[in-house]
């Protein structure tokens, strides 16, 4: 599966697509069918379409088809026009991009064409600050070294500059030659991996020889990046249009479904079943009535037997199906979407989640899942940049056994180190050299000759800066050379090879040639466990281990530095292998790692650096609060175990002994690991509840465990409130999320860097910190916040309120639909089970669209308990975690309530309006008014806090109901003509309404009162506490009540699982000794 | 206690001399306000009685020999269906006295029935041919029936006349329907056509010379009832009836309720503020009141038996997680 791109060759020009970018989902002609198709994939829409079609059959429809078609068409138009608007905007931006002017070189002539006319094989000429129009292989730049800089922020969100190098084969081409170059690029078919490009290139005679030259991602300019600090660059188009790497990695993410949505779907299906049963039963009795009674009713003039069509038996059931179709509220989807949109806006607007330091507001990219925030059970957090500032400073170091910086905690100002440098201690000099050279930092020289550094890794930046402060300054760097200024004199180093850092190797090395002596050196840096095994025998490792242990205890990040002399011949041989491995098209990464490993051996360990990464502001408090709220917090980090544990201690994740124990899952062999896992599991199950238990494991252990005993680990994961997982690769982080998700827990992953993206995408909710490691995580996430501490507000305030509100809105939507449907069903028994609708079409439509949907929207301002109280008693989150406000039981409550209210309304109506007042339209309006009155009181009763929009909408709606109906009553052509005037002038109407409200709400109020008094929920208690805090006297009762409440809230967590026991453990130390 | 104007004039009014004319000039001007003679309504805190006489006649008006075969009796046009009965007025009845007919088990709200009418035809003479929805009572030999549909076709056609002693009590049949309907629903230019001309005769016939807007029995009938038991206004008697008086009612028992075993009744009733006799609302309020009282007692009891301690504020409230 390869693609051959012939440079500047018209013959293969049209075998691939042109560079027309199209992000649009629809075209003009397929918009309607495609959009309809998309919308009809949803069960609810299919259902309503079926109902609407059935309604067109006038024989069976109880009401005018407009009652369903109207709302259905409105819903369709709203979502279709939203889609159309989005698509149109995409079309406009595509058009702008497609019609951009681009310079092309052909046969030595520069031409300007539109971006969309670029074809594969064309040579594109770019100038500084141009946006790159398609994926190019770089073949020439203005820079004599053959490098150029690109900003890839649009592609991967990383804000640093990246260096791109021209392949060696085209390094010597002159500008004229570039215009006429011919050749072939052999590259894989388009894919979406923006970090890989395993290809090679040959240039044809007569220009140069026919040698194959390997290409990597470093030789490419990818679409949507920008060319920076380079006068010009030119490249061969290899992927164009939607086949570019950025084009392939686009694509809408699958919409996430919240737990609340899932329950609503289940409830919908349950209601649907119920409806089918009702329809069948009523249909059966309807037919029975027709044959026993109906035929005797001469005034109905039923056709004589035999004349009826064959489908006659199905008419009555179908009528009931239509009559009962309103059981499933057509408006619930729209109402919920609207409410969710508002929740998301509340997050965006939240001033208290605005980060003043970086000027970033919180943002919710996914508007659909706010309720899930209130359900979170597990938080999986990255460490660096998420819990910590990711502002790295070198604080200590250990060079050939000497510890610097121990006295004042600042190695840079340690006199001994400065002295050692000025006395040219060779080890110290080497140490600084590695710090300055072994990295991928780009020095940027500003106008006033000061140098600043752009780095992908904060550690590297810290090291280079530290080296510069210690007089070893990296001045300039390009693809092949680096210049160092040490104590005022400049040294040149030839950069021969870079053995890149990967998360598997956990180290990087550079091969450099000293400019003066011609000596070849391998400089390495990496994690201690990656580098120490490579040390040449006979070195005093023990001292280093002690130093590392100490540094980790202090929560510092350590890196080990080493070097190694290379012989010219040795290097040449290795270089060939390396070249080969770099050229291989398949499995390249693995092969390169193999080759690198063969060079990185017999290292002279120079020492260790210890970098401090401060905790972010407010992290310990936030973690404590979240843990009190019953959320289990896990830390997943790529860092070392000891560092991770220290950070864990600092940020309240774990407490020190004897209150807690840390279970370490580790071992030298696979059996050891599995045994320690079993032991940890046993201890977890048996420990008393007062102790906090946590487990620690590292990447290797996880790998072994996942291979051999995933079940026990899942059980362990379910038992432990805290875990520290260190040395995790991005994939393993995502795997951990997946394990918790598969166990049925709701997970939230929070991170800031590119290595967290996979876990953020995997988790139910992904939160990104728009931090110093770029915006990559924030872009992939559902929510992005500026600081970790905002998480508590996001979950406890926004998540909790959203959940409460959605719970009410959804159940209320069912309640009101069921209410009116039950009345229709009850009426069926008084109308010969013939399927007559009590309500007229206008009323039915308006009931769903106006009368009941406006008041319920006010609930988006509702707060059951104040924000301060929630923060004070975070345990209350358990309430929503357990889904106590929206579950089949609460729904049954609403179901019962609507049945009761329907009975009340119906019987009061038919009894009060019997005999001479029994008139169809009047009776129907009395029943409808009863519904409106009751629903206004129901909403009022379920509102916890009244703000003016609420009062306005609930009672304004009430007034609107009468206004609308009085107006409708003035139109002679409507059935409603004069009805409302009659009713409003009848005292019996108003008296019946009062009775309806009294009978309908009385028991509900009484029930609530009793429940509040004798079996209050945690929310009720908090409301009472809140109320009493407002008054001056705080009775002793309430004080003790508060204590009890805390007990009960925390105690409740014990019941999480039947076999749940709090953490037991042996400590990290004791675990290590065995 | 009717005050008389004479009191205010006093004895001086009888003297007829110049002084008296002077006094007359001093006489205070008459005004209902100054004289405390403002018109007033006098609410009395006593139940307003609505008197109601219900006379069920569907069986009693059938001659004994036809009792086994009620349907044949009612469907035989050649039998004279006049039926005379004497009703005793139980209490004083003030005018107006409303006359209703009451039908039972009659499903005017049946879907087949409710729909079978065409409102456009009723108001607009040009729409006479519009018999949409009226099936199966839409056309007769190809020409439209006005008014069409089952509702009109099954028009109630029992008639009542009343006499007190030998003197006939006049039944006022004007104004028994809503004015809005006479003016806006039933046309002044629309006359019945082909009505009850089919093979099957449903109910009453209409005088083809009178426009629909004046056929008030039809208008009342076509305002369909929502419940299978309903009363419809037949007319009004504009004189007071005294308790114990005997009223002779002469009924034409034409309407077929025998096919489906429905009852028929004649109802004479006065009306109160809330309309006819209906004790439901009153009972409803009494019951709600009693329930409130009971609840109050219950609460008091509970408070006495289980006094609210602080535990009640924070009692056991386990929050178990949903089972996995």
Helical H segments across A108-201, by residue range: 153-156, 175-180
Chain B residue with Cα closest to A921: B226
CB atoms within 10 A of CB A663: 28
Q: For residues A350 and A794, give the distance between their C-alpha atoms in angstroms, rounded to a whole number.
A: 10
CA distances in angstroms from A146 to A177, A220, A232, A672, listed in the order given: 15, 13, 11, 52
Chain B residue with Cα closest to A1040: B310
pLDDT score, position A1058: 29
pLDDT score, position B284: 93
Percent pLDDT > 70 in chain B is: 86
Which chain B residues have a beta carbon less than 8 Å from that of A718? 324
Which chain B residues have a beta carbon less than 8 Å from that of A973? 119
Query: Which is catalytic among the residues A18, A350, A382, A1066?
Result: A382
**pLDDT higher than 50, residue B315:** no
Chain B residue with Cα closest to A375: B321
Q: For residues A528 and A607, give the distance between their C-alpha atoms in angstroms, rounded to a whole number.
A: 10
**Which residue among A836, A908, A1024 places its CB closest to the CB of B111?**
A836
**pLDDT higher than 50, residue B8:** no
Q: For residues B102 and B88, give the distance between their C-alpha atoms in angstroms, rounded to a whole number.
A: 19
Q: Which of A262, A263, A286, A299 to mutate to test the interface with B (most CBs of B within 10 A)?
A: A299
CA distances in angstroms from A933 to A653, A949, A986, A998, B291, listed in the order given: 52, 19, 17, 11, 21
User: Could you tell me if A804 and A862 are in contact, meaning their C-beta atoms sit under 8 angstroms apart?
Assistant: yes
pLDDT score, position A1048: 53
pLDDT score, position A588: 72
Q: Is A382 a catalytic residue?
A: yes
Asked whether the CA dihedral B33, B35, B36, B40 is positive or negative, the reply is: negative
Long-range contacts of A48-57 (CB under 8 A, 24+ apart): A48/A72, A48/A325, A48/A330, A51/A321, A51/A322, A51/A325, A54/A318, A54/A321, A54/A322, A55/A322, A57/A318
User: Residue A489: is it exposed, middle or buried by C-beta count within 10 angstroms (0-12/13-18/19+)?
Assistant: exposed
Distance from CA of B305 to the nearest CA of A (A): 13
Q: Identify the band that residue B23 occupies on the pLDDT scale cut at 50, 70 and 90.
A: low
Q: For residues A456 and A454, give the distance between their C-alpha atoms in angstroms, rounded to a whole number.
A: 7
pLDDT score, position A255: 63
Please list the ranges in chain A whose pLDDT falls under 70. 1, 12-13, 153-160, 205-210, 249-255, 305-306, 407-408, 456, 479, 503, 585-586, 656-659, 688-691, 754, 771-776, 1029-1074
Mean pLDDT over each residue of chain B, to the nearest integer: 83
Q: How many CB pairs under 8 A join A and B?
A: 216
Q: Which two tokens stand for residue A417?
A: 């180190």
| Vertex B75: Cα angle to B74 and B77 (nearest 5) | 95
Distance from CA of B62 to the nearest CA of A (A): 20
The answer to whether the CB atoms of B315 and A1016 lie below 8 A apart is yes
pLDDT score, position B320: 37
pLDDT score, position A927: 95
**Which residue among A884, A988, A1041 places its CB closest to the CB of B313?**
A1041
> A103: helix, coil or strand?
strand
pLDDT score, position B172: 93
In A450-578, where do the E strands start and end?
451-454, 472-477, 481-486, 489-499, 507-514, 520-526, 557-566
Q: Which of B74, B106, B109, B111 to mutate to test the interface with A (most CBs of A within 10 A)?
A: B111
pLDDT score, position A709: 83
The answer to whether the CB atoms of B321 and A882 lie below 8 A apart is yes
pLDDT score, position A57: 83
pLDDT score, position A1063: 27
């Amino acid at each position: 599966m390869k693609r051959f791109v012939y440079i500047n060759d018209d013959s293969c020009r049209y075998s691939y697509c042109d560079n027309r970018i199209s992000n649009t989902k629809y075209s003009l002609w397929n918009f309607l069918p495609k959009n309809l198709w998309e919308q009809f994939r949803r069960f609810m829409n299919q259902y309503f379409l079926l109902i609407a079609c059935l309604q067109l059959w006038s024989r069976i429809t109880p009401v005018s088809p407009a009652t369903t078609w109207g709302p259905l068409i409105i819903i369709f138009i709203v979502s279709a026009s939203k889609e159309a608007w989005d698509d149109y905007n995409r079309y406009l931006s595509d058009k702008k991009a497609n019609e951009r002017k681009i310079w092309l070189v052909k046969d030595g002539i520069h031409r300007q064409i539109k971006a969309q006319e670029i074809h594969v094989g064309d040579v594109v000429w770019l100038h500084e600050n141009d946006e790159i129009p398609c994926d190019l292989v770089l073949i020439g730049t203005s820079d004599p070294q053959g490098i150029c800089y690109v900003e890839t922020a649009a592609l991967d969100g990383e804000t640093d500059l990246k260096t791109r190098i021209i392949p060696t084969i085209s390094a010597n081409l002159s500008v004229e030659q570039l215009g006429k170059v011919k050749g072939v690029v052999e590259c894989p078919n388009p894919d979406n991996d923006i970090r890989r490009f395993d290809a090679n290139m040959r240039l044809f005679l007569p220009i140069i020889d026919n040698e194959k030259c390997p290409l990597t991602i470093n030789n490419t300019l990818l679409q949507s990046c920008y060319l920076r600090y380079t006068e010009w660059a030119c490249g061969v188009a290899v992927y164009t249009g939607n086949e570019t790497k950025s084009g392939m990695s686009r694509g809408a993410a699958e919409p996430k479904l919240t737990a609340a949505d899932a329950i609503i779907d289940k409830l919908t299906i349950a209601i649907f079943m119920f409806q089918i049963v009702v329809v069948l039963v009523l249909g059966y009795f309807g037919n029975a009535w027709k044959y026993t009674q109906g035929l005797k009713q001469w005034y109905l003039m039923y056709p004589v037997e035999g004349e009826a069509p064959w489908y006659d038996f199905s008419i009555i059931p179908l009528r009931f199906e239509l009559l009962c179709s309103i059981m499933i509220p057509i408006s619930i989807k729209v109402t919920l979407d609207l409410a969710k949109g508002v929740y998301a806006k509340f997050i965006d607007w939240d001033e208290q989640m605005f980060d003043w330091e970086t000027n970033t507001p919180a943002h919710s990219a996914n508007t659909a899942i706010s309720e899930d925030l209130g359900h979170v059970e597990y938080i999986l957090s990255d460490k660096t940049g998420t819990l910590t500032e990711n502002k790295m400073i070198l604080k200590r170091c250990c060079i050939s056994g000497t510890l610097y910086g121990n006295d004042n905690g600042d190695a840079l100002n340690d006199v001994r180190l400065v002295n050692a440098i000025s006395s040219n201690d060779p080890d110290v000099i080497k140490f600084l050299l590695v710090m300055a050279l072994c990295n991928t930092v780009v020095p940027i020289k500003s106008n006033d000759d000061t140098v600043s550094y752009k780095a992908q890794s904060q550690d590297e930046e810290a090291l280079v800066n530290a080296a510069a402060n210690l007089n070893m300054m990296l001045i300039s760097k390009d693809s092949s050379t680096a210049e160092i200024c040490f104590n005022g004199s400049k040294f040149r180093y030839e950069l021969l090879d870079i053995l890149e850092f990967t998360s598997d190797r956990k180290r990087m090395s550079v091969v450099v040639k000293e400019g003066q002596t011609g000596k070849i050196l391998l400089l390495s840096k990496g994690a201690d466990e990656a580098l120490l095994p490579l040390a040449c025998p006979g070195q005093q490792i023990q001292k280093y281990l002690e130093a590392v242990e100490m540094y980790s205890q202090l929560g510092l990040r350590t890196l080990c530095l080493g070097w190694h002399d290379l012989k010219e011949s040795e290097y040449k041989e290795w270089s060939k292998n390396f070249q080969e491995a770099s050229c291989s098209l398949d499995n390249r990464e693995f092969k390169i790692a193999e080759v690198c490993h063969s060079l990185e051996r017999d290292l002279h360990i120079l020492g260790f650096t210890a970098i401090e990464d401060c905790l972010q502001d407010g992290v310990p408090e936030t973690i404590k609060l979240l843990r009190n709220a019953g959320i289990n917090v896990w830390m997943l980090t790529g860092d070392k175990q000891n560092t991770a544990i220290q950070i864990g201690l600092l940020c309240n994740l774990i407490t020190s002994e004897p209150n807690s124990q840390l279970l370490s899952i580790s071992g030298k062999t696979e059996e050891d690991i599995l045994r320690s896992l079993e032991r940890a599991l046993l201890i977890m199950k048996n420990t008393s509840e007062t102790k906090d238990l946590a487990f620690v494991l590292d990447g290797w252990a996880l790998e072994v465990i996942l291979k051999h005993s995933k079940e026990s680990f899942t059980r362990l994961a379910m038992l432990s409130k805290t875990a520290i997982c260190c040395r995790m690769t991005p994939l393993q982080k995502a795997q951990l999320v997946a394990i918790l998700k598969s166990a049925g827990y709701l997970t939230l992953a929070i991170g800031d860097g590119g290595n967290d993206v996979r876990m953020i995408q995997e988790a139910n909710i992904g939160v990104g910190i728009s931090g110093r490691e770029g915006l990559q995580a924030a872009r992939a996430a559902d929510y992005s916040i500026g600081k970790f501490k905002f998480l508590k507000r996001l979950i406890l305030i926004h998540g909790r309120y959203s959940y409460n509100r959605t719970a009410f809105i959804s159940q209320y939507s069912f309640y009101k639909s069921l209410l009116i449907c039950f009345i229709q069903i009850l009426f069926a028994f008084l109308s010969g089970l013939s399927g007559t609708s009590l309500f007229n079409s206008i009323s039915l439509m308006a009931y769903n669209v106006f009368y009941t949907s406006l008041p319920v929207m006010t609930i988006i301002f509702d707060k059951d308990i104040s924000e301060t109280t929630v923060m004070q008693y975070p345990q209350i989150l358990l309430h929503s975690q357990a889904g106590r406000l929206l579950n089949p039981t609460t729904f049954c409550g609403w179901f019962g309530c609507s049945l009761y209210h329907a009975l009340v309304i119906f019987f009061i109506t038919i009894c009060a309006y019997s005999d001479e007042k029994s008139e169809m339209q009047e009776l129907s309006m009395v029943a409808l008014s009863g519904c409106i009155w009751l629903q206004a009181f129901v909403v009022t009763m379920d509102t916890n806090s009244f703000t003016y929009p609420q009062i306005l909408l609930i009672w304004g709606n009430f007034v609107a109901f009468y206004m609308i109906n009085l107006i409708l009553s003035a139109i002679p052509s409507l059935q409603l003509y004069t009805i409302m005037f009659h009713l409003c002038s009848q005292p019996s109407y108003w008296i019946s309404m009062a009775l309806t409200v009294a009978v309908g709400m009385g028991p509900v109020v009484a029930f609530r009162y009793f429940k509040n008094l004798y079996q209050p929920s945690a929310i009720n208690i908090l409301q009472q506490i809140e109320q009493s805090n407002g008054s001056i006297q705080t009775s002793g009762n309430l004080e003790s009540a508060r204590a009890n409440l805390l007990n009960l809230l925390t105690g409740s967590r014990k019941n999480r699982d039947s076999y749940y026991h709090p953490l037991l453990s042996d400590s990290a130390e004791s675990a290590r000794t065995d | 206690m009717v005050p008389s104007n004479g009191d205010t004039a006093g004895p001086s009014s009888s003297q007829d001399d110049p002084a008296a004319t002077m006094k007359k000039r001093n006489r205070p001007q008459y005004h209902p306000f100054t004289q405390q003679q403002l018109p007033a309504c006098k609410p009395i805190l006593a139940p307003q009685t609505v008197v109601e006489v219900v006379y069920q006649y569907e069986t009693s008006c059938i001659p004994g020999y036809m009792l086994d075969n009620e349907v044949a009796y009612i469907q035989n046009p050649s039998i004279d269906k006049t039926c005379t009965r004497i009703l005793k007025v139980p209490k004083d009845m003030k005018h107006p006295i409303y006359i209703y007919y009451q039908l039972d088990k009659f499903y005017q709200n049946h879907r087949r029935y409710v729909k079978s009418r065409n409102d456009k035809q009723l108001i607009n003479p040009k729409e006479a041919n519009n018999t949409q929805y009226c099936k199966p009572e839409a056309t007769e030999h190809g020409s439209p029936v006005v008014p069409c549909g089952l509702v009109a076709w099954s028009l109630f056609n029992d008639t009542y006349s009343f006499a007190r002693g030998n003197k006939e009590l006049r039944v006022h049949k004007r104004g028994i329907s809503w004015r809005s309907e006479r003016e806006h629903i039933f046309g002044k230019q629309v006359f019945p056509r082909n009505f009850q001309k089919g093979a099957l005769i449903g109910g009453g016939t209409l005088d083809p010379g009178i426009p629909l807007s004046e056929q008030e029995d039809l208008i009342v009938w076509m305002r369909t009832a929502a419940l299978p038991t309903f009363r419809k206004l037949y007319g009004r008697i504009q004189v007071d009836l005294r308790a114990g008086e005997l009223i002779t009612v002469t009924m034409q028992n034409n309407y077929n309720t025998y096919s489906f075993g429905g009852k028929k009744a004649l109802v004479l009733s006065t009306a109160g503020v809330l309309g006819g006799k209906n004790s439901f609302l009153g009972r409803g309020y009494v019951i709600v009141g009693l329930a409130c009282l009971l609840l109050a007692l219950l609460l008091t009891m509970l408070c006495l038996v289980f006094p609210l301690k602080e535990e009640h504020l924070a009692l056991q409230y386990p929050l178990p997680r949903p089972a996995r």
